[in-house]
Structure 1
Amino acid sequence: MANKHTTRPITTGTSVVGLVYDGGVLLAADTLLSYGSMAKSFNTPRMVSIADRVLLGASGEYSDFQEIVSRVEALALAETTQSMESVYDERTLSAKSLWNYLRAVMYQKRSKMNPFWNDLVVAGFENDAPFLGVIDKLGTTLQENLVATGFGGYLAMPLLREKWRPDLSEGEARALLEDCMKVLFYRDCRASARIQLAKVTKDTCIISEPYELDHSNGWNAPSMQRAVGDLDGDGGW
């Protein structure tokens, strides 16, 4: 049987951005997949719901993400089956357990020189407290109130650090994530204005349908208008 190696990412998705707010965790990601520099698919989700109140999102190679999801779903099914077979054992796959499992998976793959080319975000609830963690393709992990993968680490994190506070309401958290996704759309040539939001609380886990950001104000900003005006004048263009 031939060896199968992903030597470099080919069909990729860009940033996933997440934050903890007062009452839950919110994630955001666009739905664009790029084939190199070409936009291949405009409506492909990169966030999934796993087990009970656990979210998993990913940037990077999409085929590797599909393989990770199939492994995680098999693990969640095994946990559920074991729990059903035992009267005394009510186990479900928690967010922190999934985070630790994926850390081991990513580390094992990179140790065999055949990594999954993904950065993963795990969100959920752990002991009635919100949980948010990230794992990179080397198996390095981070648990934090604010996370961003891909170009979001450079473009979205400064905005998150400036405006985040622990008592953010759900509406404020959503507005902040949408601002981050707009910045990524303006600055990251692999990002799209078509996004999804995902929310996990004590009681629910929801992934929204894809929708378009209202990004017209960015192009109508005074600085952009001056730049366009210079095209017809002698402003250095």
Structure 2
Amino acid sequence: MNFMASKQPENSLLGPEADSQRTLYPNVTGTSVVALKYKDGILMAADMGGSYGSTLRYKNVERMKAIGKHSLLGASGEISDFQEILRYLDDLILYDNMWDDGNSLGPKEVHNYLTRLMYNRRNKFNPLWNSLVLGGIKNGEKYLGTVSMIGVNFEDDHVATGFGNHLARPILRQEWHENLSFEDGVRLLEKCMRVLLYRDRSAINKLQIAKITEEGMTISQPYSLKTYWEFSAFENPTQGAVGSW
């Protein structure tokens, strides 16, 4: 599945600019990515929806990928730009492997590269319309960070993009601790994804959870969460509302 970014028509009156391809606005987008550190490594969750505007057009879009030996990348935003970022990273990992010096890029180096990439494209007024989550582990040191489409970045023990930054982070701040087991970490991520499913119109009930440890990385098969839609607030969401909303 290849999502092409929007481009100028061939007969444009803009002259040489007609040949440049830019994502003028996001076309097919993915919603939140949520990730956290747990006792043995990093856990990351994302659903598989791809929205064409407000329409959930695609329901089988994978938005988490392994980067090299030590890193895991998740992305919200424009899917075609995410594919472009993956091509950049493929070149980076290939170039690193060509040195054949027994060393390999860790998650901190990949995160720094993504930060410079996003900021560079922003300065060219041709941004990659994504919010990225980069996690990994190397030499026993866990790493988790995020970077926005304009290069704003930080590290933390748990991160989220999109609506998850507003709805999932409060849950993580309250319930996360550094000695989370794998099972507890998965349950916490599932709780966050369930809240997002209830509140985010772009979220779908088909998700994957990825795990990366010193032993390697695995991404689960897609599965659905058990949900309950009989809450009174869901049955009559506008009851008692004041104003035009």
Match of 2:104 among 83, 92, 95: 92
Residues 1:34 and 2:51 aligned together: yes
Partners of 2:107 and 2:141 in 1: how far apart?
Answer: 11
Match of 1:64 among 81, 88, 92: 81
Match of 2:229 among 213, 219, 223: 219
Letter in 2 for 1:64: D
For these two proteins, the number of residue pairs brought into alignment is 223
Instruction: State how 1:48-197 maps to structure 2 within 5 Å.
Output: 48-83=65-100, 89-197=101-209
Shift of 1:17: 0.2
Partners of 2:240 and 2:54 in 1: how far apart?
Answer: 29
Name the residue aligned to 1:21: 38
Partners of 2:226 and 2:59 in 1: how far apart?
Answer: 17
- For the 8 Å contact 2:72–2:212, the answer to whether it is kept is yes
Structure 1 runs, 4 residues or longer, greater than 4 Å off? none
Shift of 1:138: 0.7
Partners of 1:110 and 1:195 in 2: how far apart?
Answer: 30
Cα deviations by residue, 1:23-75 (Å, 9 ceiling, x for unpaired): 11100000000000011111110000111031011000000000000110111
Unpaired stretches in structure 1, ≥5 consecutive residues: 84-88
Cα deviations by residue, 1:95-141 (Å, 9 ceiling, x for unpaired): 11100001110000000011000000111013311110101011111
TM-score (norm 2): 0.87
Structure having the larger proportion of residues in helix: 1
Change in Cα spacing, 1:236 to 1:18, as seen in structure 2 (3 Å) is: closer
Shift of 1:91: 2.1
- For the 8 Å contact 1:96–1:126, the answer to whether it is kept is no
User: Over aligned residue pairs, what C-alpha RMSD do you find?
Assistant: 1.7
- For the 8 Å contact 2:138–2:214, the answer to whether it is kept is no
- For the 8 Å contact 1:54–1:123, the answer to whether it is kept is yes
Shift of 1:236: 7.0
Name the residue aligned to 1:4: 21
Name the residue aligned to 1:86: none
Q: Looking at both structures, which has the greater relative contact order when contacts are Cα pairs under 8 Å and sequence separation is at least 6?
A: 1
Partners of 2:240 and 2:83 in 1: how far apart?
Answer: 48
User: What's the % identity of the aligned pairs?
Assistant: 43
Partners of 1:82 and 1:53 in 2: how far apart?
Answer: 17
